[in-house]
Chain A
């Protein structure tokens, strides 16, 4: 739920005062949700006769204990941030975008195809246009459920889930067919992956010995831009209005269906960019499993970041760290990284569950403040 509605009462007294109590409460809820998830995870691990302390220590040791672990967490945070930004925009228009997995794939396909077709272009031209191509390809995959919702009232959750499955098959078809690496064909291995992209299309790396690339900076800049877009432009205002109260927006002459479709399209574009970052920044080719499940973990990051573009920056980093830690845990103490998927699911459940409690809490506080005021005026 949008955090500003919770503090609306206190804001009406003094628009510029920061309600520290409320802010603290808002921040505490996700942390509590996270702790509860880890607690339940610990119980499951104990039942499986695995020491939870060893497992959890392995998760955090590497990320907070080594430079490579830290940079790797930033690498994983990048697609989470981009996907999460899209989820935020869509959610603000009260549209739930489950389709990020498919949109990432389309973005990756778009980037790969574009970079291979125009492989002779110089880097200053090829890289930006490739990024644009990935944005557009992802946007198309967001536009489809958007237009289906606007024109035919098709539930966007269901259509995006179906489009995810379709995108996976589309990619499989391409990397086994038209886009297959000819080197694999001549060698007889027929590896299901595209050929290596021209270096001109690679996202420059920021550090040697690390996959950290300029994509991370682009993502952070985009987070600020999305914030400005949602809170400082008319279109952004309308998107939020549609999400807060569709009926009131309709009476005010806002085309609700249009803005919901637009928000899904933008969400798709941002997820598409995440696909480009994976292809152009890390693998330098299109291959199976390119999404690494970011389409789902991006939802968790977005919720955890309070569905706010700037709150998403630390949230994406946190979950990026967890994903890196999960890989390390699997290798170091042989606890399957599926543990993290389970924990992410629990975090989602607890975060959405606690938003009701926090709403009740702020209503009660508002009543109390009002009572005090009435008594003071007495």
Chain B
């Protein structure tokens, strides 16, 4: 067996972990906005798929990455509007409408891919940018400061989301709507408007999460590219206790396990690959068991709001 515990492997695992955390961060931070306002959007995976395809396709035909990012955000927004209309205006059971949105996104992205592209091909995605000075630090520079733009953006999103939710009036409004919509309503907060905003913001970020996958991490699109990443992102929100910092910890933990799993396969460590792929999902369940009893979720989570009903 090759030597497993070397510095190169260590750096490799951590570098992969940082990169792999990117789509989870975008999607989970986005989902935390929706959930903080009281709406569980289970359709994240479907939005990611449509976003990933849009970004991939625009890159394929124009080569313009910024146009691709814009397209991913836009289709995310449209999916968000659809989800808000069904879940907020029509007050549908959120678990089911999310699954509907997921199936819609999965089917739509596969349909578009098969008709417009046909076969798996790669595109030129975002290049890695080495940050001056910091990028030259041995080990640390290699792991943290030699990444592509979407990776940096995902990590910047965490403090930004924290600031927005904890330090602005808007954040306070969002929290009040998620905790006690009736009280917020009586104080003149437009509950539906806030929820529309949060679901749509989350959906835009989910679209970007998909784009980060298709034009920055793997630079290709195939049917069901995300393979359930969106659902794991939803689980990360619970795991992180609806806090951006908690989500960061969860995403890194998750991506590190994933990176170790990938590297073990690369290095030919003798464990069945099926078992290794199972590992992150088992970890997610274990994490959910560990946290759900001690963290208080937004009181109005998963509850549609209707005036005069409470």
Contact = CB atoms under 8 A, between A and B. Distances in A.
Interface of A: 1, 44, 48, 50, 96, 98, 148, 152-155, 157-159, 161-166, 169-170, 172-173, 176-177, 296, 299-300, 303, 335-336, 338-349, 352-357
Contact of A357 (B90, B96, B235): B90
| Size category of the binding interface on chain B | 35 or more
B238 A48 contact: no
Given A159-B285, A353-B97, A345 B104 contact: yes
Contacts of A158: 231, 234-235, 238, 284, 288
Interface string B76-96: 000000100110001111011
Contacts of A349: 82, 86, 92, 97, 100-101, 104
- The B contact surface, by secondary structure, is helix
A152 B115 contact: no
A152 B112 contact: no
Contacts of B104: 342, 345-346, 348-349
Nearest to B105: A345
B293 interface: yes
Contacts of B101: 345, 349
A164 B235 CA distance: 14
Interface of B: 42, 46, 82, 85-86, 90-93, 95-97, 99-108, 110-112, 114-116, 223, 228, 231-232, 234-235, 238, 272, 274-275, 277-278, 281-282, 284-285, 288-289, 292-293
B97 A352 contact: yes
Nearest to B90: A353
A51 B281 CA distance: 42
A339 B93 CA distance: 25
Contacts of B86: 349, 352-353
Contacts of B91: 356
28 contacts: A48-B112, A152-B293, A153-B293, A158-B234, A158-B235, A158-B284, A162-B281, A162-B282, A169-B275, A170-B274, A173-B274, A299-B96, A336-B115, A338-B106, A338-B110, A338-B114, A338-B223, A345-B108, A348-B96, A348-B97, A348-B104, A349-B100, A352-B92, A352-B97, A353-B85, A354-B90, A356-B91, A356-B92
Q: Which 9 A-B pairs have the closest CB atoms?
A: A345-B104, A342-B107, A341-B107, A348-B100, A345-B103, A338-B110, A352-B92, A173-B274, A336-B114
Nearest to A50: B115
Chain A binding surface SS class: helix
B96 A96 contact: yes
A345 B46 contact: yes
B274 A296 contact: no
A335 B285 CA distance: 38
Contacts of A96: 93, 95-96, 99
B107 A339 contact: yes
Contact of A343 (B107, B110, B274, B282): B107
A50 B115 CA distance: 9
A350 to B, nearest CB: 8
A340 B95 CA distance: 21
A141 to B, nearest CB: 13
A300 B277 CA distance: 29
Nearest to B108: A342
A163 B285 contact: yes
Given A96-B95, A348-B99, A154 B289 contact: yes
A353 B82 CA distance: 11
B288 A159 contact: yes
